[in-house]
Amino acid sequence: MGRKYFGTDGVRGRVGESLITPEFVMRLGYAAGTALVAREHQRGNVREGERPAVLIGKDTRISGYMLEAALESGFAAAGVDVMLCGPMPTPAIAYLTRALRLQVGVVISASHNPYYDNGIKFFSAQGTKLPDAVETEIEACLEQPMGCMDSARLGKARRIDDAAGRYIEFCKSTFPNELDLRGLKIAVDCAHGAAYQVAPSVFHELGADVIPIAAAPNGLNINEDVGATAPDSLRRAVLDQGADLGIALDGDADRLLMADADGRLYDGDQLLYIIARQRAAQGAGATGVVGVVGTLMSNLGFEHALGRLGIPFARASVGDRYVLEMMQERGWPLGGENSGHIICLDKHTTGDGIIAALQVLAVLRKQGVTLAEACADLVMYPQRLINVRLPAGFDWRAHAGIGAAQAAAERALDGKGRVLLRPSGTEPLLRVMVEGENSDEVQRWAESIAEAIRNAICV
């Protein structure tokens, strides 16, 4: 049975509508707190008279103030103590929850979405996404009326003043002690988001000359033509400022894109390749095997390049949650998406843009190479993505013309490319992706399939 409130990454929507209202978020805090108290008492983790505790962080959206207060009220009413740390990257909340031995971490963020969206996502005590079973328990509690503990059992709230410093030191600890970033001029695009205070400090304290970009949030400008989803701003800054490198994060700092001194951009596949190649060369990995999990959207050239190095590769469904699940199933340390989510399980429990950047920089410093040189043997295939809007109730799989167009493209590519039709999980769109060795051929077949879909809609 599908869940009513939780998506693949928590609860998300437009502020003031449906789920992202003060009333619902307070109920969500109460429901999560009620489920948490029950689980902790059942496990014997909380003694009589004690209260479980949660950490709440947020990005820089103006709605974060309102939703933070609502969540705090809900948790307190359920008898849960609340620790507040203000704007912090999503992966920072995962780390701090584990480091402070708290029961749950909560992030108020809609990641790379515009300011008028927001969401609530949860982390377990181990710094991982909540198991489906726990989210199901929370949904069950949401169906019950909201109550309130007796006054003596209400939760308390306090602010953690050293949260940023703790996370900065954690990030720095993932960079080799024998290396530094002295002599490098790095532009760091914070997307006016959650990392605006911590990201420049991490790279500066490791010795880099840092040029902060999009580090002046006003509550409304998060992700607006900046960050990992709009990397042209980073490219221009690198060229204008004469930087050696550029680093772009998204609003909650779990995505990463990079640029070299020539303004060339490097996506998640390319950056993950640089990390994987180095890990394989040094025999890293707790299981002795360096395997990489990508997604259905990972570039075929990336897969082939890993194959030439003898590095196992597997594709998960799109979404860092599914990537992480497959990594854990296979015992592989590396995974990610071409959008810039990169997970290094030997460094952190979740995807982290700052830590991923440090892993790439460590390779460049160790080998004395540039980004271009580090992935010179990775040939990315041209890839074309076309989104076609679908009317309500339209079953694209039932139309023979669409299937015929897809089959024709696959025959023409003859094993030297891929065709993927994937419905969006959040919008009424069908995503048509074609990739292959020849860009003109890729473009032609992507447009042909998209046109077949539009024709089927009109029938």
Q: Are residues 347 and 325 in the same domain?
A: yes
Distances (CA, A) of 24 to 118, 187, 215, 218: 13, 40, 31, 25
Q: Which helix (H) or strand (E) element contains residue 188?
A: strand 185-189
Q: What is the pLDDT of residues 54-113, one digit of tens each?
A: 999 999 999 999 999 999 999 999 999 999 999 999 999 999 999 999 999 999 999 999
| Residue 216 maps to a domain | yes
Can you give the pLDDT at residue 114?
A: 95
Q: Range of 341's domain? A: 267-352+362-374
Same domain membership, residue 156 and residue 16: yes
Phi and psi at 249, nearest 5°, equal -110, 170
Residue 194, helix vs strand vs coil? coil
Q: Are 226 and 331 in contact (CB under 8 A)?
A: no
Contacts for 337 with CB less than 8 Å, ≥ 6 apart: 268, 294, 295, 297, 298, 318, 319, 320, 323
What CATH number does the domain containing 327 carry?
Answer: 3.40.120.10
Beta-sheet pairing, 117-123 with 157-159: unpaired
**Nearest partner of 355 among 129, 174, 219, judged by Cα:** 174
For the chain, the residue count is: 459
Mark which of 228, 249, 265 sits at the end of a domain. 265
Residue 242 counted as domain residue: yes
Give yes or no: residues 49 and 89 share one domain: yes
pLDDT band at 319 (very low <50, low <70, confident <90, very high): confident
By annotation, the residues acting in catalysis are 111
The whole model's pTM is what? 0.92
| 367 and 278 housed in the same domain | yes
**Cα angle value 445/447/450 (rounded, 5°):** 110
Each residue's pLDDT tens digit, 215-243: 999 999 999 999 999 999 999 999 999 99
Which pLDDT value is given to residue 285?
A: 45
Give the residue among 153, 167, 125, 318 at the shortest CA–CA distance from 253: 167
**Tens of pLDDT, residues 372-387:** 999 999 999 999 999 9
Residues 47 and 95 in one domain: yes
Q: Same structural domain for residues 116 and 36?
A: yes
Residue 205 lies in a domain: yes
Residue 271 and residue 346 in one domain: yes
Q: Looking at the structure, do residues 30 and 104 belong to the same domain, yes or no? A: yes
Q: What is the pLDDT of residues 117-173, one digit of tens each?
A: 999 999 999 999 888 888 999 999 999 999 999 999 999 999 999 999 999 999 999
2 within a domain of the structure (yes/no): no
pLDDT, one tens digit per residue, over 260-310 is 999 999 999 999 999 999 999 887 544 456 899 999 999 999 999 999 999
CA–CA dist 145, 152 (Å, integer): 21
Residue 408's domain is classified under what CATH number?
Answer: 3.30.310.50
Please state, as a whole number, how many other Cβ atoms lie within 10 Å of the Cβ of residue 344.
Answer: 24
Tokens for 402?
């669409």
Q: Is residue 172 part of a domain?
A: no
Indicate whether 235 belongs to any domain. yes
> Do the domain assignments include residue 168?
no
- In the chain, what percentage of residues exceed pLDDT 90? 85
Total number of domains in the chain: 4
Beta-carbon-side half-sphere exposure of residue 339 (alpha carbons within 13 Å): 16
